[in-house]
Structure 1
Amino acid sequence: MQVYPMTVEGEKSLREELRQLKSEARPVVIAAIAEAREHGDLKENAEYHAAREQQGFIEARIADIEGRLGSSRVINIADFTNNGKVIFGATVTMVNCETDEESVYKIVGEDEADVKQGKISVTSPIARGLVGKEEGDATMVKTPAGVVEYEIDKVEYI
């Protein structure tokens, strides 16, 4: 069985989504199915088919979240001392050696990744290039634009 690393925030977010799906979305779609059934012939009832499709999406997402939570390992970054080393959960400030452009990323689990919020998956090429390095180290990272050299400016465990 594969174990998925997850931050405390990621687990909280998934548990909240699971709660919302089970206690809010599921009852709404069940009510929509019941209402659509009252309209008669189910073969030609678009409302019924749409509600059943929505129910399928909700049930699949519930099963997916429950599976992820069941096989996750929650890692609390607050349990680690700041030794300047890049690890799962760390927030890394790095500088592009060619352009001096600064980037800040938090290394998180796959389900939590959102580049727009500065969260990258531990399995992403950038994170793989950073994990194990320390403040002041330079590293070559494969990006879609090619190989880029970065210097790790700061590592925080927040």
Structure 2
Amino acid sequence: MTQTSANVTWLTQEAYDQLKAELEYLSGPARVDIAKKIEAAREEGDLRENGGYHAAKEEQGKQELRVRQLTQLLENAKVGEAPADTGVVAPGMVVSIAFDGDPDDTLSFLLASREYASGVIETYSPQSPLGSAVNGKKVDEMAEYELPNGRKASVKILDAKPYQG
């Protein structure tokens, strides 16, 4: 669960530990593995036409970008508890909404940093148009946000419960 305000990202201890473990792997064993791949590809000869070398270098670049992202995220992280079950939408909560107040057109999602996304439940960032519109709203309140096409959409908050993931 995360809550971002300015440069601070709030994480539960579990989320922090998970991201820290990923960072340690990427900056340790994964770096060694990619260096070995690059060296093996380099030994194959002409680097201009060496697909394995270029693929390994591209993989290395993506890996180093992720290391920088995780380092920055964890440097600015504050570890805290999951949000209280108060009926007010906050990061770290599963939010159920009805589009235009229609009880047949609903969506439930986790309001959290994209870093916490999983295949279990759809995740919306608190900075996304929908996430920022519902953040801080109470159950039964309406929220309005802008769609990519510039039109406005409204949703009714049906429920907001702390994520138990």
Q: TM-score, normalised by structure 2?
A: 0.74
Distance (Å, rounded) in 2 between the aligned partners of 1:49 and 1:132: 47
Amino acid paired to 1:33 = I
Please tell me whether residue 82 in structure 1 is matched to residue 76 in structure 2. no
Question: Are the structure 2 counterparts of residues 122 and 58 from structure 1 closer, same or farther at C-alpha, using a change threshold of 3 Å?
Answer: same
Distance (Å, rounded) in 2 between the aligned partners of 1:12 and 1:72: 11
Q: CA deviation at 1:3?
A: 2.1
SS at match of 1:52: helix
Question: Are the structure 2 counterparts of residues 41 and 129 from structure 1 closer, same or farther at C-alpha, using a change threshold of 3 Å?
Answer: closer
Distance (Å, rounded) in 2 between the aligned partners of 1:43 and 1:102: 53
SS at match of 2:107: strand
Please tell me whether residue 20 in structure 1 is matched to residue 43 in structure 2. no
Contact 1:98–1:149 (Cα < 8 Å) also in 2: no
Q: What is the count of residue pairs matched by the alignment? A: 156
Q: CA deviation at 1:117?
A: 3.2
Q: TM-score, normalised by structure 1?
A: 0.77
Q: CA deviation at 1:94?
A: 1.4
Of 56, 60, 69 in structure 2, the residue corresponding to residue 64 of structure 1 is 69
Please tell me whether residue 127 in structure 1 is matched to residue 127 in structure 2. no
Amino acid paired to 1:102 = T
| Stretch deviating more after TM superposition (38-47 or 67-76) | 38-47
Please tell me whether residue 102 in structure 1 is matched to residue 106 in structure 2. yes
Name the structure with the higher helix share: 1
Distance (Å, rounded) in 2 between the aligned partners of 1:71 and 1:49: 33
Write out per-residue CA displacement over residues 58-102 of structure 1, whole angstroms, 9 at most, x where no aligned residue.
22321221121111233431xx43221111212111122146312
Unaligned residue ranges in structure 1 (runs of 5+): none
* Identity percentage of aligned residues: 27
Of 139, 144, 161 in structure 2, the residue corresponding to residue 140 of structure 1 is 144
Unaligned residue ranges in structure 2 (runs of 5+): 1-5
| Stretch deviating more after TM superposition (90-99 or 46-55) | 46-55
Contact 1:4–1:71 (Cα < 8 Å) also in 2: yes
Structure ID, larger Rg: 1
Question: Are the structure 2 counterparts of residues 101 and 24 from structure 1 closer, same or farther at C-alpha, using a change threshold of 3 Å?
Answer: same
